[in-house]
Structure 1
Amino acid sequence: MPEVELVFPRAFVEFVNPADESEVLRCDLTWLTSSYKCIFGEGCQGIYADAPDVGCCTLGAHFADGDDEKRVAGYVAMLDENLWQQKPAGKVRKKDWIETDEDGERKTRVTTVDGQQACVFHNRTDFAPPTGGGGAGCALHALAFVLGKNPVETKPDVCWQLPIRRTFREVERQDGSTYTEVSIGEYDRRGWGPGGHDLDWYCSGNTEAHVAPEPVFRTHVAELTELMGRPAYDELVRHCEAHLRSRSALALHPADPH
């Protein structure tokens, strides 16, 4: 079945953040209870047809802020030639892995190997490190497993968040009081901006990627906890489980198997 349409009925829940009463969480239950999973290396066709083995790493990753860049830099310093195919000889300098885009935003550098463009940390399928193993994938992702950490800790924020999207909106109630609305939902094509509609393939709405035995809110515990905080995540679980027990056909993600 092809990729589903972007607009379809969704179920949402809103609740006050138990750890911060100034925030109201607005969560997409349809997405968070779906069977989506990342299928990189398991059928992912990549966002561009000419780079099917690169997944969504073609354009590099923009840093959320200086703290994001600083945190990643600490882990880049831990990478060796067994984990990073494109590791430069000698001391790694920031210019080896950071570049500035046309808008002046800092991001991971993009390189071209055998005509295929990708983030500098993306190891190609022919990667064969001295100690064995290898293959395609993110060097920082591999480092997380070597260190016994979750990739949430080692990768740029945008990388581990995708395809979960968190947005903020300031809301004024009719009584004049205000709160911050924190939305947690699906990072679909539209999240990439106008260019998202030109991607040759995309996972979040593709039936091929909706094959997980457990729903997103269970398979992405680390990501959701980092985005929401533990108290809010625990409250989300309560709502997701209730939704699973009671949801109707209209509340199902159309990419899920039916």
Structure 2
Amino acid sequence: MKHLNTIRLNVDEEVWLIDTEFLKSSWQCVWGNGCKGIHSKPDPAAGLGCCSVGAQMLDTDEAMLITAIGKSLPSEYFQNYLAARDGVLTADNTATRLEGNACIFLNHPDFVGGAGCALHLAAISEGERPMDYKPSVCWQLPLKVDRSDVQPILRPWSRSDWGDGGDSIGWCCSEKAEAPESFTGEQPVFISLAAELTALVGEIAYAELAEQLTKPETNL
């Protein structure tokens, strides 16, 4: 993994390392606006984004939540409404199952109810936060809490996080060198993803993080 520019942040009773370079960057999700997906050959026209694989469940509670929400989604927001009668998770309840070439919750570009994640669309329509409807791995992307070392690191996803197939991904949106089109947002990540960061580290830690990231570079 590349060297990270980091600061230390107290999160509950742990000290996390925070990748400041990414959080201060202009990254934004470009799904539907040039996203090339995660297949070996970039394909923006397919509209699959990172939904061409099933979303892994965090735990049993999350599996139960996503199952319940999936059963309640109205057909106007959910292209695979009928297919979902057979369940929205894999047989072992560890991930959302695939329907065709993508996650069962992905509405394709030709769907009259709107392309994109059915969970996301339903949350917006009901005045709720999409992160309260979606699997953790989905609303956290591109943020990753890496616990592979002694000290947790909050950083962007890298190719290696996609597992054995990571090297074959044709386009990785969180890598600036190969996806400059993803780094065109009007706000830095620590502001545009404030809700997600707050959910990960807590309100007090996020306030401290935001304060540190607005200091002059020489003070970090």
Percent identity of the aligned residues? 35
C-alpha contact (below 8 Å) 2:89/2:96 kept by paired residues: yes
Distance 1:169 1:126, change over 3 A: closer
Report the number of matched residues. Answer: 214
More helix by share: 2
> In the alignment, does 2:188 pair up with 1:211?
no
C-alpha contact (below 8 Å) 1:62/1:105 kept by paired residues: no
RMSD: 2.2
Shift of 1:201: 1.4
Whole-Å separation in 2 of the counterparts to 1:160 and 1:241:
24
More strand by share: 1
For residues 193-208 of structure 1, the aligned pairs below 5 Å read: 193-205=163-175, 206-208=179-181
Whole-Å separation in 1 of the counterparts to 2:87 and 2:115:
20
Deviations 1:11-63 (A, max 9, x none): 1001323xx3x210210001111110000011111112375310000011110
Whole-Å separation in 2 of the counterparts to 1:138 and 1:60:
12
Bigger Rg, which one = 1
Match of 2:114 among 103, 116, 135: 135
Q: TM-score, normalised by structure 2?
A: 0.89
Give unmatched runs, 5+ long, in structure 2. none
Matched AA of 1:74 = A
Relative contact order (alpha carbons < 8 A, sep ≥ 6): 1 or 2 greater?
A: 1
Match of 1:58 among 52, 70, 80: 52
Classify the secondary structure of the residue corresponding to 2:195. helix
Residue of structure 2 in register with 1:226 after alignment:
199
Residue of structure 2 in register with 1:84 after alignment:
78
Classify the secondary structure of the residue corresponding to 2:72. coil
Shift of 1:96: 2.4
Classify the secondary structure of the residue corresponding to 2:197. helix
Shift of 1:78: 2.4
Q: TM-score, normalised by structure 1?
A: 0.77
Distance 1:158 1:39, change over 3 A: same
Whole-Å separation in 2 of the counterparts to 1:185 and 1:169:
12
Whole-Å separation in 2 of the counterparts to 1:188 and 1:110:
23
Give unmatched runs, 5+ long, in structure 1. 1-5, 129-133, 172-180, 252-258
For residues 155-194 of structure 1, the aligned pairs below 5 Å read: 155-168=134-147, 171=150, 181-194=151-164
Whole-Å separation in 1 of the counterparts to 2:161 and 2:214:
27
